[in-house]
Amino acid sequence: MEKMWIGALGLSSLLGIFGSLVAAENATLAHVEIDGNAFFDSKTGERFYIRGVDYQPGGSSNLTDPLADIEICKRDVPKFQDLGLNAVRVYTVDNTQDHTECMQMLAEAGVYVILDVNTPDSSISRSNPGCSYNADYLQTVFATIDVFANYSNVLGFFAGNEVINDETNTNTATYVKAVVRDMKKYMRARNYRQIPVGYSAADVTENVQLAAHYFNCGDDADARVDMFGVNDYSWCGKSSFQVSGYSTKVKAYSNYSVPLFLSEFGCTKVTPRPFTEIGSIYSTQMSSVFSGGLVYEYSNEANNYGLVQIDSDTSVTTLQDYQNLKSEFESTQNPTGDGNYAKNNNVSTCPTYEAGKWEANNTLPAMPSAASAFFSKGAGEPMGTGYPTQFRCGDTNLSDYFTADAASTTQSASLSSSSASEGSSSSSASSSSSATSATSSTQSSSKSKGNAVAAAEVPTLFRAMAHVWNYVL
């Protein structure tokens, strides 16, 4: 790394890089790798099934990074162990923070992390996806990769969550697929482990299968997802493999060539939830196609999908859903052997463009040219969770305005923080969850990062504030 670039990184970036290197040395888990349409433990060679929960305590109304608070991790990791989990999905993290202790604690507990790389203010916009796909947005994504790439218990990254949530915004898929491509190329350019990159889809009857095939089609392997998640709430109460529609889904995805799993499940039409779907998810009924799933969600928020009620930073109260899920996990073993996975399924055929039904192009936009510098120098200063990028149209890399030379800057800047927008899982035959992730939004908050902008030259700050003010207007 060039000397002058190190000078511009800032203390928080250096601490984050150092923390990642320490984590790489201390990690106790072998990374999970992909073969065909299944996950495998890279050390033992055993088939890996995701037994996890979606994890964002506080939800969108009180957005916090659970992997940066050691007290929260001390509170929750033992509960993950008690449930028998091996994975958690986290929707939003603050890439300015140090995650070393929590990631190590999770690794020691045998828990992997599936991480969404977006934030409420920095994501592909449903209303203007082309504008939101810009160099500043990619900087935030790449900076998050920088922070987490060296933890061996990162199972994968999600490039988007429910960006397509009805039949009117399928055009957004083109830009999410470009982000998948850019993330994979960035990791290769930075000599990181090629961590799987995927997409988490809303179970929209009209297009969820089209989305699955679109993200897994084409000649460019970098643009194809390595894994695909479906947010599915079709099994309600004491249903069955047939009645729930699970059997239909297994048949529909039988030729899918990459790992498929339920990135959210747990219908609340019947409460407390009995979680009887566990018996089918981890059986040979589904193991040839699906590799487990994640229960929505760990903490009880306003939507009442929780397994626990958070009492304080140090204590939780387990709910009946928790006890039911624990009982189902304890009584259900993974299929023996390789679960009849498919090693050599062909990639999908790209869906045909059809106005009003499927409007994603097969020709992807070129990466914004200003972002190419990140490939050689790294993403630079992380900007955290309140850095708005959705309406920064054009090829200009506005994050330059927020990057300061440590030798000549003393002015601290603090711009207003952002609030998270709440996504929703859609399914015509299921209950809808209020997702804590805001990886896509119909409108952008016109607020900028506060504490992450630790130092900025006064003229630079004025220019940055002028640009932010333009977005407000």
Q: Where are the domains of the chain?
A: 32-377
Q: In one letter, which amino acid is 247? A: S
pLDDT at 426 over 90: no
Active-site residue, selected from the candidate residues 25, 46, 101, 162 = 162
CA–CA gap between residue 81 and residue 397 (Å, rounded): 43
Q: Please pick, among 2, 71, 264, 457, the residue that the annotation labels catalytic.
A: 264
The sign one gets for the Cα dihedral 271, 162, 184, 8 is: negative
| Main-chain phi, psi angles of 326, to 5 degrees | -60, -45
Q: Scanning the structure block, which residue is given the tokens 């030729």?
A: 255
Dist CA 362 CA 195 (whole Å): 24
Q: What local confidence, expressed as pLDDT, does residue 428 receive?
A: 36
Q: What is the pLDDT of residue 393?
A: 86
Interatomic CA distance for residues 112 and 67, integer angstroms: 12
Instruction: Report the pLDDT value the prediction gives residue 63, as an integer from 0 to 100.
Output: 85
Write the DSSP assignment of 204-224 as a string of letters.
Answer: -TTTHHHHHHHTTBSS-TTTS
Q: How far apart are CA 293 and CA 283, in angstroms?
A: 12
Q: Average pLDDT, stretch 180-198?
A: 98
Which residues are 89's β-sheet partners? 54, 114
Confidence label for 62 from pLDDT (cuts 50, 70 and 90): confident
Is the per-residue pLDDT at 255 higher than 70? yes
| Better-scored residue on pLDDT, 155 or 7 | 155
Q: String of b and e for 402-429 (b: at least 16 CB within 10 Å)?
A: bbbeeeebeeebebebbebbbbebbbee
Q: Residue 189 pLDDT > 90, yes or no?
A: yes
Nearest CA to 391 among 441, 451, 465, 461? 441
SS3 content of the chain, % helix, strand, coil (to 5): 30, 15, 55
CB atoms within 10 A of CB 91: 28
Q: Tell me the CATH number of domain 32-377, given options 3.60.20.10, 3.20.20.80, 3.40.50.360, 3.30.460.10.
A: 3.20.20.80
Mean pLDDT of 87-102: 98
Residue 179 scores a pLDDT above 90: yes
Contact indicator for 126, 175 with CB cutoff of 8 Å: no
Give the CA-trace dihedral at 156, 162, 163, 167, to 10 degrees: 140
Mean pLDDT of 432-454: 34
Confidence class of residue 413 from pLDDT cuts 50, 70 and 90?
very low
- For residues 343 and 324, give the distance between their C-alpha atoms in angstroms, rounded to a whole number: 34
- The verdict on pTM exceeding 0.85 is no
With 70 as the cut, is the pLDDT of residue 46 above it? yes
The dihedral built from the CA positions of residue 107, 113, 119 and 120, taken in this order, carries a sign that is negative
Please report the pLDDT score of residue 27 as a whole number: 53
How high is the mean pLDDT of the chain? 84
Q: Given pLDDT bands bounded at 50, 70 and 90, which one contains residue 336?
A: very high
Sign of CA dihedral 5, 375, 418, 55: negative
Residue 396, pLDDT score: 53
pLDDT digits (tens, 9 = 90+) for 10-38: 444 444 444 444 444 445 799 999 999 99
Report which of 25, 27, 40 is spatially closest to residue 105, judged by C-alpha positions: 27
Distance between CA atoms of residues 282 and 297, nearest Å: 19
- Catalytic site includes residue 277: no
162 is catalytic: yes
Which helix (H) or strand (E) segment is 331 a member of? helix 320-331
Sign of CA dihedral 368, 369, 372, 374: negative
